[in-house]
Amino acid sequence: MFDTHELGRRPGAMKRLSRSVEAPGSPVLGIDGVIGVPEGAPVELDLRLESVMEGVLVTGTARATAEGECVRCLEPLTVEVDADFQEMFSYPDADDRGRSSAAEPADDAEDDEDRFFLEDGLFDLEPMLRDAVVLALPMQPVCSEDCAGLCSECGIRLDENPGHHHDAVDIRWAALQGLAETVQDGEKDNMGGAEPGVDEKQEK
């Protein structure tokens, strides 16, 4: 939680602050199962708090190191996160000048769900911090842009074995290949016995 009491409620007042916080654990600060900032890892925050008529406008940058694995070769990797965010935290007693006088109560309720409020002069940055970090992270992280990935046949890492390959057999010819091997085996068996016609000559 961050305190805005020193800022006061005079529009135009501004305060800058820097703080190091620990990354929350559950849910992960990032993309669950793909990449994220480990629980307890430091997150450096640079914030600007600005007092306006209806509340406090918070603008900031979050810097951290996310960990995950390459989607191509599954090797561990790290990514430096630099996420920008901005959010308005309204005073609980702020008037609704921006709303239409004809607005329905249901509309007001929906608007309140999309708004963040100060509570006793304090605000929680975690929800928008999560959103900002997720948007700053790659959806499909790779260890390098030219990562060749893994062999689809045996799973070996292709970057470490650039000449690696398998002799591909077209599945449509697999049955004929098996038949050819059977014929070859039969020919070998025949070669082990007497040639045709030899016995006939010996009998004569």
CB-CB contact of 28 with 15 (8 Å): no
Give the Cα separation of 192 and 190 in Å (integer).
5
The pTM of this model reads: 0.65
> Number of helices (H) and strands (E), helices first, in the chain?
4, 9
Encoding tokens for residue 141?
């992280």
Tokens 């085996």 — which residue?
A: 185
The pLDDT value given to residue 160? 73
Give the Cα separation of 68 and 76 in Å (integer).
6
The pLDDT value given to residue 102? 42
What are the structural domain ranges in the chain?
1-94+107-146, 147-179
The pLDDT value given to residue 170? 64
Per-residue pLDDT of the chain in tens (204 residues, 90 and over written 9): 776 777 777 888 889 989 999 998 878 899 888 999 999 999 999 999 998 888 889 999 999 999 999 999 999 999 999 999 999 989 887 655 444 334 455 455 445 566 788 888 788 888 889 999 999 999 999 998 888 888 887 877 766 777 777 776 666 666 666 676 676 665 555 555 555 555 555 555
Spatial CB neighbours of 28, under 8 Å, sequence gap ≥ 6: 36, 37, 39
